[in-house]
A and B are shown apart, each in its own frame.
Chain A
């Protein structure tokens, strides 16, 4: 291994580490300086745009414009002729067993519900329980570790977990070793479409992988919110003789609610656009296809941009209810203060 390069280029690294923040802070300080020169009554009109401006420009450029282009594309064929709802009709034909409907079912029902509930519940339980033990940093790091593993490597890890050998042979996968220990036949976790071809089992096997990988995320954010609850508040409740469960229900949970909404919203969106785990582990075979993977395959395998755009818009529309819920939530917070 050649680490000399690393040392040699350290100055460049330092310039970037210092230069980038300096430019960013320089922007806001400089812009505020200019705003102050404006007449008093114009300042409140200009100032917000100074602060949201850079984010607005970047999000517009990297996400919003491509999203609009996709929206337009979804009403065109691959030669830019307007075709109305043709792409949607093609993709949404054949309910309920066409590939797109299977992807919709998996993404918007199975993944959305199970993934969000599992990650949120485990994250909340961990944040609250770990807060009460001295070795908090250690256990948190262990839970966080899967987040630091790339999707390819976690594919290898779960290959060791789900490995299948025929009944009678020694099992090489952890899960099947446990299952056969209890005298059950080994299970092909990723291929078995139990029950009756509905493919709940193998989708759950994929969701398990993703849950294992992302629980560290919800744990860390919920833990940060938990730490934000002032200790005096909790102690006051304890002095009043409240039990730990009551304290959680009456004090901790309500105060954490806004953060739980944020994490929940993020998880819903992650669930709807999940891609990595099914891509690496099954590529959507065995009825495990999801919307983002379907879109990817239409885009890069079929080179059918129009169809991919329609699937992407279906995916984006699925997010709308969550947005409406959020709008109400933060208007409520606004009204309270």
Chain B
């Protein structure tokens, strides 16, 4: 009896394996598949799929897309284990540059039309894609955002007779005027889960660029400008004067600023009466305004002016950021996709759907869905001193330390010197790992 039950068990298990075989073999053949690891989910994912659709339709190539906010962990593990995606798209170039240095990325010089790329893209974007400075392009950029935009409610300004500041002195004067009227001038919120502090770093790098210029900025990015140097320290104190003594210029004070999500930054500005009058955030923040309060309309309920130049010598300096793409496996399909992403056709699709600004100059300004996004797109195209987000180019250690220490700075500006010393010590090691 026992042996017969054994036999039966074996027969059943073999049969089940065979059935599995029969069930599994049903994938149809096509022009190939691209495994793509990105970060866009939710509404962004829909826009990303809209971009891919004409590509998939015309080539027959299928893009198997996966998104994750744990991109660092997944890419690091799968690359190390020898199983990377074909193509990855990242919200900042640092992680992908790291893989370029490890020799894990495929140079794109033969994959994309370099002549067209050079003609249609600002040189700084291309240089950013060459992290080894060996003339080999490892990353391309398709969409970006402009940072350092000061958002305000025009109705509030009108009611109080405030004018949009033309210079940095105007801004500080306006700040004192609002403070004098008994309201906090600024809304600043920096909570962002595992990236808490980054909105404060936006303030800092905009101030560094506008105050001390592109050379200092570049050295700071490269790790050769100390955090305790007069220039960076001055930027911190300038940021401190925006925050006010003990954070008194900011709605809710330091506690609220560090405890509240960056996406909720606008909520107090749109209450009646407003609890703050201005906030500094990149061009994407408008979608947070309208999703929290669908009644708001761009232009009439909110508008922006660029952070005024602090040092006229560096007038028109702007910090930008963008989505970068890199190729881990050299397949014909992946090459086609990389080339496609550089084209104006591809970039226009997302631009029209809102939330992103194109890097390709051929994308018409008329493609932008509203006046505000057109205006910020113009900044990206016309800026004389355009610099990529500094912390996003620094080693991840440096970036994380900067975010964390900026949070501490907001909480207690008095500890600035010890924070800068700490950042110096991180800088000393972070660039050599």
Quick check: do A and B touch in the complex, using CB within 8 A? yes
- A residues with CB within 8 A of B: 11-12, 15-16, 18-19, 22-23, 25-26, 29-30, 33, 78, 155, 164-166, 169, 188, 190-192, 279-283, 285-286, 296-297, 299-304
- In the complex where A22-B12, A303-B98 touch, is A166 in contact with B76 (Cβ < 8 A)? no
Question: Does B199 lie at the interface of the complex (its beta carbon under 8 Å from any beta carbon of A)?
Answer: no
**Other-chain contact of A164, B20, B98, B260, B407 (Cβ < 8 Å):** B260
Identify the closest chain A residue to B275 (Cβ): A169
- Given A166-B252, A188-B255, does the pair A279, B2 have CB atoms closer than 8 Å? no
CA distance in complex: A190, B20 (Å): 50
Shortest Cβ distance from residue B130 to the other chain A in the assembled complex, whole angstroms: 21
A1: min CB distance to chain B, Å: 16
Cα–Cα distance between A78 and B98 once the two chains are bound (Å): 14
- CB closest chain-B residue, reference A18: B16
* In the complex with contacts A33-B2, A166-B251, A191-B258, A285-B433 CB distance below 8 A: no
Supposing A15-B20, A191-B258 touch, asked if A26 and B196 sit within 8 A by C-beta, the answer is no
A283 to B193, CA, bound (A): 6
Q: Identify the 10 closest CB pairs spanning chains A and B, nearest first.
A: A19-B16, A166-B252, A283-B194, A301-B396, A26-B9, A164-B259, A188-B259, A302-B397, A300-B72, A188-B255
Verify A29–B396 contact, CB threshold 8 A.
no
Residues of A within 8 A of B196 (CB): 282-283, 285
> Which residues does chain A contribute within 8 Å of B17, judged by CB atoms?
19, 23
Q: What's the nearest-Cβ distance from chain B to residue A270, in Å? A: 20
**Shortest beta-carbon distance, B26 to chain A, in Å?**
10
Other than the given A33-B3, A164-B256, A303-B396, 6 more pairs (CB < 8 A) read A22-B12, A26-B9, A78-B433, A165-B252, A166-B253, A304-B433
Which of A11, A33, A286, A302 touches B23 (beta carbons < 8 Å)?
A11
Query: What CA separation (Å) do A297 and B251 show in the bound complex?
Result: 32
B72 touching A166, Cβ below 8 Å: no
**Chain A interface, DSSP helix/strand/loop, else mixed:** helix
Residue in chain A with minimal CB distance to B194? A283
> Given A191-B259, A283-B196, A285-B404, are A26 and B23 also a contact pair (CB < 8 Å)?
no
25 contacting pairs across A/B (C-beta < 8 A)? A12-B20, A15-B19, A15-B23, A16-B20, A18-B16, A19-B19, A23-B13, A26-B10, A33-B2, A33-B3, A164-B255, A164-B256, A165-B252, A166-B253, A169-B252, A188-B259, A280-B193, A281-B193, A300-B73, A301-B397, A302-B395, A302-B433, A303-B76, A303-B433, A304-B433
Q: Which of A296, A299, A301 has the most CB of B within 10 A?
A: A301
Q: Mark B252-270, 1 if CB is under 8 A from A, else 0.
A: 1101101110000000000
**Bound form: Cα–Cα A190–B256 in Å:** 11
Q: Indicate with 1 or 0, residue by residue over B216-258, a CB within 8 angstroms of chain A CB atoms.
A: 0000000000000000000000000000000000011101101
Q: Which residues from chain B contact A192 at a C-beta distance below 8 Å?
A: 255
Contact of A301 with B400 at beta-carbon distance under 8 Å, contacts A22-B12, A30-B6, A280-B193 already known: yes
Give the distance in Å from the alpha carbon of A19 to the alpha carbon of B19 in the complex.
9
Name the distance in Å between A260's Cβ and chain B's nearest Cβ.
Answer: 35
Contact residues in A for B72 (Cβ distance below 8 Å): 300-301
A281 contacts across to B, CB distance below 8 A: 193
> Cα distance A96–B6 when bound, in Å?
62
- What is the number of residues of chain B that contact chain A, defined by CB distance less than 8 Å? 41
Establish whether residues B9 and A30, one from each chain, have CB atoms under 8 Å apart when the complex forms.
Answer: yes
Interface of B is mostly: helix
Which residues of B approach A to under 8 Å, CB–CB? Answer: 2-3, 5-6, 9-10, 12-13, 16-17, 19-20, 23, 72-73, 76, 98, 193-197, 251-253, 255-256, 258-260, 275, 395-397, 399-400, 404, 407, 411, 430, 433
A301 to B72, CA, bound (A): 7
Q: Tell me whether B256 and A165 are in contact (CB under 8 A).
A: yes
- Report whether B407 and A300 are in contact in the complex, using a CB–CB cutoff of 8 Å: no
Measured between beta carbons, the chain B residues less than 8 angstroms from A26 are 6, 9-10, 12-13
Contacts of A19 on B, CB cut-off 8 Å?
A: 13, 16-17, 19-20
Contacts of A164 on B, CB cut-off 8 Å? 255-256, 259-260
In the bound complex, residues from chain B placing their C-beta under 8 Å from that of A16 are 20
Cβ–Cβ contact A29 & B9, under 8 A: yes
> Chain B nearest CB: distance from A298 CB in Å?
9
Question: Which residue of B13, B19, B407 contacts A285 across the interface (Cβ within 8 Å)?
Answer: B407
Complex Cα–Cα for A165 and B253 (A)? 10
CA distance A16 to B251 in the complex (A): 57
Chain A residues closer than 8 Å to B20, beta-carbon distance: 12, 15-16, 19
* Measured CA separation A53–B407 after assembly (Å): 52
- CA separation between A280 and B260, bound complex, in Å? 14
Residue of A nearest to B261 (CB): A159
A282: nearest chain-B partner, CB-CB: B196
Assembly CA distance A258 to B134 (angstroms): 65
A178 to B73, CA, bound (A): 39
> Quick check: B10 and A30 within 8 Å, CB to CB?
yes
Task: Give A106 Cβ to nearest chain B Cβ, in Å.
Answer: 15
Q: Which of A18, A188, A282, A296 has the most CB of B within 10 A?
A: A188
Distance, CA A30 to CA B19, complexed state (A): 21
| Alpha-carbon distance A33/B2, docked complex (angstroms) | 8
Question: Nearest chain A CB to B402's CB is how many angstroms away?
Answer: 12
Chain A residues in 8 Å Cβ range of B195:
283
Residues of B within 8 A of A23 (CB): 13, 16-17
**B76 in contact with A299 (CB, 8 Å):** yes
In the assembled complex, the Cα of A169 lies from the Cα of B23 at a distance in Å of 61
A164 to B252, CA, bound (A): 10
Distance in angstroms from A75 CB to nearest chain B CB is 18
Is the Cβ of A33 less than 8 Å from the Cβ of B6?
yes
Q: Which residue of A lies closest to B10 (CB)?
A: A26
Q: How far is the CA of A155 from the CA of B196 in the complex (A)?
A: 14
Bound Cα distance A165, B399 (Å): 28
Q: Are A190 and B259 CB-contacts (below 8 A) given A22-B13, A30-B9, A302-B430?
A: yes
Instruction: Give the docked Cα–Cα distance between A282 and B193 (Å).
Output: 6
A29 near B260 with CB under 8 A, answer no
Residues in chain B near residue A22, CB distance under 8 A: 9, 12-13, 16
Cβ contacts under 8 Å, A12 to chain B: 20, 23
**Chain B nearest CB, measured from A189 CB (Å):** 8
Residues of A within 8 A of B98 (CB): 303
Residues in B neighbouring A301, C-beta threshold 8 A: 72, 396-397, 399-400
Residues in A neighbouring B411, C-beta threshold 8 A: 191
For the complex, give the distance between the alpha carbons of A143 and B282 in Å: 43
Name the distance in Å between B299's Cβ and chain A's nearest Cβ: 28
State A164–B264 Cα separation when bound (angstroms).
Answer: 12
List chain B residues, Cβ under 8 A from A191.
255, 258-259, 411
- Of B9, B72, B396, B400, which is in contact with the most chain A CB atoms at under 10 Å from its CB? B9
